[in-house]
Structure 1
Amino acid sequence: MSRMTSLLPSRLSALLASAIALVAALTPLSAGAEAPKHIKIAVEGAFPPFNYLDSNKQLQGFDVDIANALCQAAKLDCEFVIQEWTAMIPGLLEKRYDAIISSMSMSQERRQKVAFSQRYYDSPTVFITQKASNIAIDTSNGLKGVRLGVTAATSQEAYAKKFFGNADTVVFSASPDLYKGLANGSVDVILEDKLAVYDWLANTKAGSCCMFNGKDIKDPEYFGDGAGIAVRPADTELLATFNAALAQIQADGVYDTINAKYFPFSIQ
């Protein structure tokens, strides 16, 4: 009897410890303690003021700030991946990252490959020329004889190929190269997103050479309904998460604060 009595406490302790461990293993973490889901977000890093690398090689820009705000609102653990533009959608479909937040316009062609969130900003496409040039934009002749610059794999390139076949089109690898080409006279005119080129025109010495020329261009077939967050079509839960987070930052003023940091007007 004395032996049984002496062993009972230790056996009970062991059983109790096992039970506690089992309960802990089976009980989910509370909402406050739950580890945030880790996702990777692709950004080009060469499209100021929307996304670019600063002097310390750190990502900055409107897209980056919006992405960080969305991740905070959605309680996501987000990691940025710098991706060259022409491989953006292929990289998403190959699961090298989970989303694209990089000023991607929601064109019909892209909608056939990826799923988009609600629009997070909108901007027309415009022509830009040197102030000293006498070029009058006449699209009725397909810009015959004009050296037209566009950026590779953009909606502007597709639009130019369709409507300005008479132009001598030069395709640049990235937007900074496109702007440099206009400034140094390699091309006569460029076709670019209005908000993207605004910072270069308004805030850089090089951009002071140039100006908007002609009317804004809006064509949903090519430029879509503004810029959206792209995810794989099957990732419906992630898409819903981004849409909910976007609605939240628009409602609580976070979006407006980011907007005002980059533009003196609303781009929603």
Structure 2
Amino acid sequence: KATEAAPQAVPGFWDPRRRPDRPDLSRLTVIRFLTETDYPPFNFTGPDGNPAGFNVDLARSLCDEIKVTCTIQMRRFETLIDALATNRGDAIIASMAVTPQLRAKVDFTDPYYRAPARFVSRRDNVMPEIRPEYLEGKKVGVIAGTSHEAYLKAMFTDAEIHSYPDNDTLRAALRRGEVDFIFGDAISLAFWINGTDSAECCAFSGGPFVESRYFGEGVGIAVRKGNDLLRQSLNWALFRIWEKGRFTDLWLRYFSISPF
């Protein structure tokens, strides 16, 4: 069920006073979207074998708004940038965080949500606030090689950091009590906490961490460098969807527990 504060938790990045100009949409004949295979609830393979999830539904809404034919192809996350560069698709909609490193390779639309980081603990160990000194000597799990791991190593130097290869092993470690906390993407964690896989074991501890140096400037749609027509068309359509309330409807359909 939706929480009382859910409407305020819908990320709105669009300023009603800064309406994007409508580009010449007639020059777009097709948009080939690329997304990732396994990042629920944003993108995943549905029961019928077709792409599903928040990003997939958002892509379809953008195509409706632009009135253009679209295709959506699913690939492994690490292959997406290369597929875009070699013209196997036109736009990546896969919860890709806008960072300086990626800006060197692709152009991004305006952000359509931010992905804060949060701590999760077992329900019998919830802390209302988390500061580095509170976690001295505590075991904290995180996925190896992520910005979340880099942030913990830089900021939570007295915690005992345990790195795991993927979400399943990370979350299982918390359920079994191998770690006191896990740290990661708040949106996928909210989905897990609220779902059946967590068996109601766990809850958020403390509030969101949003340092853009680690967690990006938000999440955008990536297009090839210099493809300004497509980038501007997507920006225009994102604004229109938000203005009409369709973005809020879509967000609340997927996120009844606020990640923020």
TM range (shorter): 0.7 to 0.9
The unaligned stretches of length 5 or more in structure 2 are 1-23
* Alpha carbons 1:51, 1:61 under 8 Å: kept: yes
1:109 equivalent in alignment to 2:101: yes
Question: Closer, same or farther in 2 for the Cα pair 1:161/1:74, shift >3 Å?
Answer: farther
Corresponding residue of 1:129: 121
Does the CA-based 8 Å contact 2:190-2:259 persist in structure 1?
A: no
Structure 1: gaps (5+ residues): 1-30
Equivalent residues in 2 for 1:204-223, closer than 5 Å: 204-223=196-215
- Aligned-pair CA distance for 1:146: 2.2
Residue 60 to residue 189, structure 1, CA distance change in 2 (3 Å):
same
Match of 2:53 in 1: 61
**1:108 to partner: Cα distance:** 2.7
Q: 2:132 aligns with which of 139, 151, 154?
A: 139
Q: TM-score, normalised by structure 2?
A: 0.75
TM-score scaled by length of structure 1: 0.73
Cα distance in 2, alignment partners of residues 267 and 243 from structure 1: 24
More helix by share: 1
**Partners of 2:194 and 2:257 within 8 A in 1:** no
Shift in Å at residue 120 of structure 1? Answer: 0.9
> What is the CA-CA distance between 1:245 and the residue it aligns to?
0.9
- 1:245 is aligned, of 237, 240, 243, to 237
**CA 1:114 to 1:203, structure 2 compared with 1: closer, same or farther past 3 Å?**
same
Query: Alignment partner of 1:168: what SS?
Result: strand
Letter in 2 for 1:256: T
Cα distance, 1:160 vs structure 2: 3.7
**Shift in alpha-carbon separation, 1:113–1:266, aligned structure 2, 3 A:** same
**1:196 aligned onto 2:188:** yes
| Cα deviation 1:186-244 (Å, max 9, x = unaligned) | 54432222122112101325251111123321111122222111112221111111101
Counting aligned pairs with the same residue, the percent is: 31
Q: Distance in 2 between matches of 1:119 and 1:225?
A: 8
Q: Tell me by how many angstroms 1:103 deviates.
A: 1.3
Question: Larger relative CO (CA 8 A, sep 6+): 1 or 2?
Answer: 2
3-state SS in 1 of match to 2:225: coil
1:52 corresponds to which of 24, 37, 44: 44
1:155 aligns with 2:147: yes
Q: Distance in 2 between matches of 1:164 and 1:69?
A: 41
CA RMSD across the alignment? 3.2
Deviation at 1:117, TM superposition (A): 0.6
Conservation of the 8 A alpha-carbon contact between 2:120 and 2:204: yes
Q: CA deviation at 1:164?
A: 4.7
CA contact 1:108–1:222 (8 Å) conserved in 2: no
Indicate yes or no: 2:83 matched with 1:77.
no
| Alpha-carbon shift at residue 93 of structure 1 (Å) | 2.5
Larger radius of gyration: 1
Q: Which moved more, 1:164-173 or 1:190-199?
A: 164-173
Tell me, what secondary structure is at the counterpart of 2:92? strand
Tell me the residue number matched to 1:40: 32
